[in-house]
A = this chain, B = another copy of it.
Amino acid sequence: MTRFSKLYERERLTIENRLSKALKNRKPYSLYKPAAYILESGGKRLRPLLVLFSAKAAGGKFSKTYNAAVAVELLHNFSLVHDDIMDNADKRRGRPTIHKKYDLCTAILVGDSLLSVAYEFLLKDAGIKAAEILKSFTHGLIEVCEGQSMDKDFELKKIVTIEDYILMIDKKTAAMAEMCCNIGALIAGASGKEVKALSAYGKNIGIAFQIQDDLLDISANESEFGKFVGGDLIEGKKTFLFLKALEKARGKDKKDLLSVIERKGVKHEEIPKFRELYYKLGVIDDAKSEILRYSGKALAQLKFIKEPEDREFFVWLTDSLIKRSK
């Protein structure tokens, strides 16, 4: 482990610990027990960590941003719970989703409550900049809802352009990462320039992160990935790779790809064929170069970070995000 991965892990555990206490002693249990269940499912906790390290990079302290960090993770889990209902997902990180383990009513209310409690936590750290910080958080939330709505629309649309897709992930994924860096910087009392730079870092790394997600779904090493490869194709999702392939394909290849839209997905046994097509059309490389382009844009913002140590942390973080295998 490098010193940065140790630092990340230490702070991730702090967040885990705070999340495990966030809903304690609240009633009714019928609401907060399932809400605690979703918070226990682990993960990278990237969003709260972006809050913490953005604050640090702007001269702030971790200790003043833990509540805000918990808030963004609660917000993220709100969207996971509601998205899982909409996507009719049975599992999340290997465990039954809330609407499967409990029921639809519980899942709707758990999502609503996680969002409400998120605001409660954010207000604890917002201090004199409450208006600005809450505005940023609310803007992030609105973007997430709009992004999810666009994503659902894409399922029914025959024609989705790469531009539409980038706008959608900009809202659904990147706006949240942008907001995390933004509020971390604001709480730390960063200058306007620092706030802008860190926010832009978050936005660009968010887009890179999502395209990387799309790429992993088809090119990951299954044993490291932890789930089977090709899930997006099976669901007929219009990912960056799929849309890029559709743009580049001609003749029979194009017909095959259009049939995925028509049939709303492929069979499990067809995955190798489409993966090969992706390689043939060069869209695996296209995705990789887009990831590099957006992470490059993110890295370019780091010059506004004062301490070399903090700057290096963000370089390490960027690098590990785009090299991750799951």
Given known contacts A146-B31, A152-B105, is B112 in contact with A138 (CB within 8 Å)?
Answer: no
Let me know if A277 is at the binding interface, CB within 8 A.
no
Closest 10 CB pairs between A and B?
Answer: A130-B131, A31-B149, A119-B138, A86-B105, A130-B130, A116-B142, A116-B141, A113-B145, A112-B145, A28-B149
Question: A225 → chain B, closest Cβ, in Å?
Answer: 28
Q: Does A120 contact B (CB under 8 A)?
A: yes
Chain A residues numbered 91-121 whose CB sits less than 8 Å from any CB in chain B: 104-105, 108-109, 111-113, 115-117, 119-120
Q: How far is the CB of A117 from chain B (nearest CB, A)?
A: 7
Report Cα–Cα, A142/B32, bound state, in Å.
Answer: 11
Q: Is A150 an interface residue (CB 8 A)?
A: yes
Near B by CB (< 8 A), chain A positions 23-42 give 26-28, 30-31
Contact between B134 and A119, CB atoms less than 8 A apart: yes
Q: Is A56 an interface residue (CB 8 A)?
A: no
Does the CB pair A117–B142 fall under 8 Å? yes
Interface pair B142/A113, CB less than 8 Å apart: yes
Main secondary structure of the interface of A (DSSP, over half): helix
Interface: A187 (CB within 8 A)? no
Q: Which residues of B sit under 8 angstroms from A141, Cβ to Cβ?
A: 116, 119
Task: Say how many copies of this protein the assembly contains.
Answer: 2
- Which residues of B sit under 8 angstroms from A139, Cβ to Cβ? 120
* Interchain residue pairs with CB less than 8 A apart (17): A27-B146, A28-B146, A28-B149, A30-B152, A31-B146, A85-B104, A85-B105, A108-B108, A109-B148, A109-B149, A109-B152, A112-B145, A116-B138, A119-B119, A119-B134, A123-B135, A130-B131
Verify B120–A138 contact, CB threshold 8 A: yes
- A87 — nearest CB in chain B belongs to which residue? B105
Q: Which chain B residues lie closer than 8 Å to A115 at the CB level?
A: 112, 115
Q: Is the CB of A30 within 8 A of B138?
A: no
- Tell me the minimal C-beta distance from A80 to chain B in angstroms: 13
